[in-house]
Structure formats: C-alpha cells, structure tokens
Amino acid sequence: MKYYVGIDLGGTNIVAGIVDENHEIITKADVKTNLPRDYKAIADDMVKVSFEAVEKAGLTMDQIEWIGVGCPGTVNRDTGIVEYANNLEFYNAPLTEYLENKFNKKVYMDNDANAAGFGEFVAGAAKGTSSAVAITLGTGVGSGIILDGKIYSGSNFAGAEIGHSVLEVDGNLCTCGRRGCFETYSSATALINMTKKAMEASKETAMWEMAEGDINKASGKTAFDGMRAGDKVATEVVNEYIKYLAAGITNVINIFQPDVVCIGGGISKEKETLLAPLREIVSKEVYSRYSKKNTKLVAATLGSEAGVIGAAMLGFAI
C-alpha cells in the first residue's frame, strides 16, 4: 500500500491527512492557522501536524510517497512560490522549497480550490470522468477545472477563477474590484445578502421566524427553510438565487462542456431542492441542449475531505 500526505491550508485551520492509494483518509491532524503570521511559522505548523498524522497512522515519514498541499491564492507550480494569497498575507512566499527542506520529501502544491476539485475528480462526485468542473459556494465562489485528468490553471497559474467572471455589467461590487461577478450573485454570502434584503423589505415573511427574529442570524439555509414553509418572499429569494447560479453554470458548461459539474459548499446540502430547478433552467439555456450527451450537474460528495484527498493526489494531477 502506498501512502501520501495531503495538507489543506486554510485561513482558520491547517489540516493534514494520510491518504492511501485507494483515496481513503487513514488519519488526520489539525492546528489553528492563527493569522497573521510569517509563512515560515505557518509552514512549521504544517510540518508539525503532518508528522502527527503520520504517527497516528502508525507509519513513518519514510513510508510516505510525497507531500501535497492545497494553498489559497496564486500558486506557481513551476517555481513553488505562492505569488499572492491575500487572506494569508503571502507575497512571493517560497513555500514549496521551505517545506521540501523540512520534510526532505517531494512537495506538490496547488491552489486549494484546484486541489478540492481534484479530490472530487479522483474520489468523489466526478470519479470515473475525464473532465469536470467543481464549484464551491461559500464566502465566494471557488472552482477547480480538471481537463483530461489534469488540473487546468492557465499559463500563469491564476486561471479557473470562475467566480470572477461577470454576470451583470456594472452590477454588485465584488471584493476583487470588479462589478457584477458570479460570486456576488451566487456565493453563500450573496444568498445571505439577498435574504437580509428581502427580510428588511417584508416584516411579515416567515424568514424572520427562521432567523429567530434577528436578521444577523440569517444564513444560507434561511430562505430555503422559508420556501419549504410556503413563504412567498422566501420562495422569491430562492428563485432569484437559482436564476443567477444557473446563468453562471450555463456559462461554464458552454465554455468547457465537462462530463460533470459538481456543486459543493454548505448550500449544496440542499441537494435536489437546489439541483432540480437548477438543472431545469440549465437544460433549457445550455448551447448543447440538443446534443445526445450533456454535462451532468450533481452535488459534491466529499465535503471538507475533498481538499485533503485532492492535495494528497496532486502528484498525479500536474
């Protein structure tokens, strides 16, 4: 049996897992990221939790094939440098070289969304396909593109930023500086903002009850709960959200025509409540609607484990 270490470096936690050749996580260890810190201090904790995970698995580092890392931001795979990761405050950080010197092992590193997408590709909702796009609906809209079994990240390793394609010119301001980005209409944050706006406009909506009378307790689930309760305002929020999400996903399919688009993040837990109307709109709008073969639209299945599994398997992806 072959074993690999996968590290999911996040803004809140650093998680290291031991993954076997069957893409199963054997053990995990984690530590708080504790930002802001120098990249070397964070890397030292990445090494520490990796050795903890190896020990918990009853292995030694000599039995590990390589280390894989999913890191936020623009990761230059040729140089191993994290050119820019705003949430981590990394600027041209030579993270791969530093980790290889600490581990005395080969280290593969890529963007965290790419790693999570590859996790779904090898072990999750896109397993058995040749091409897939994984979209995560969270604070923003993260994405990973897998073409012919390899991660696509563009000529400068900053590609696959689907969340920053524009749905509405001069629309809502995005944190990237543009207006009308996909993620300003289709992220979990966007859904919460839509929910709060609707609640402010209607004191009668059942969403106030769902949020315990506190608008600040509104979540990505609030509008869906209200819709299930038969609330008209909540239903309108959900329908508007799905309309924008369908537009963005249709764009993705028209460009890539992947075998599968898998949707992850907390909102994907709505499953068919989200996916059924989404498929209905996309099937009518996608350019390939008359084709005998069309992209499947499914929920991601690995959850938080996608990042660890995908990171561990990066040696096969790049």
Q: Are 53 and 21 part of one and the same domain? A: yes
pLDDT in tens, 57-94: 999 999 999 999 999 989 998 899 999 888 788 999 99
Residue 86, pLDDT score: 80
Residue 53, pLDDT score: 97
What average pLDDT is seen over the chain?
94
Q: What number is the average pLDDT over the span 84-109? A: 93
Q: Residues 152, 159: contact at Cβ < 8 Å?
A: yes
Q: Are 153 and 292 part of one and the same domain? A: yes
Q: What number is the average pLDDT over the span 135-163? A: 91
pLDDT in tens, 202-249: 999 999 999 999 999 999 999 999 999 999 999 999 999 999 999 999
Residue 195, pLDDT score: 97
Inform me whether the pLDDT recorded for 181 exceeds 80. yes
Q: Are 270 and 134 part of one and the same domain? A: yes
The band of 129, judged by pLDDT with boundaries at 50, 70 and 90, is very high
The count of domains in the chain is 2
Domain housing 9: 3-122+305-316
Q: Are 227 and 163 part of one and the same domain? A: yes
Residue 317, pLDDT score: 87
Q: Are 274 and 232 part of one and the same domain? A: yes
Q: Are 116 and 143 part of one and the same domain? A: no
Inform me whether the pLDDT recorded for 260 exceeds 80. yes
Q: Are 104 and 54 part of one and the same domain? A: yes
Inform me whether the pLDDT recorded for 313 exceeds 80. yes
Inform me whether the pLDDT recorded for 318 exceeds 90. no
Residue 176, pLDDT score: 86
CA-nearest of 121, 174, 177 to 149 is 121
Residue 69, pLDDT score: 97
Residue 34: alpha-carbon gap to chain centroid: 21
Q: Are 267 and 311 part of one and the same domain? A: no
Q: Are 164 and 118 part of one and the same domain? A: no
Q: What number is the average pLDDT over the span 252-269? A: 95
Q: Are 151 and 271 part of one and the same domain? A: yes
Both tokens assigned to 290: 């008359």
Both tokens assigned to 66: 């390589």
Domain containing residue 230: CATH number: 3.30.420.40
Inform me whether the pLDDT recorded for 269 exceeds 80. yes
Question: Can you give the pTM of this predicted structure?
Answer: 0.90
Q: Are 294 and 175 part of one and the same domain? A: yes
The band of 143, judged by pLDDT with boundaries at 50, 70 and 90, is very high
Both tokens assigned to 296: 């499947």
Q: Residues 222, 207: contact at Cβ < 8 Å?
A: yes
Query: Phi/psi at 252 (nearest 5 deg)?
Result: -60, -45
Q: Are 94 and 158 part of one and the same domain? A: no
Supply the angle between the helices 232-256 and 188-201 in degrees, to the nearest 10: 150
The band of 12, judged by pLDDT with boundaries at 50, 70 and 90, is confident
The band of 139, judged by pLDDT with boundaries at 50, 70 and 90, is confident
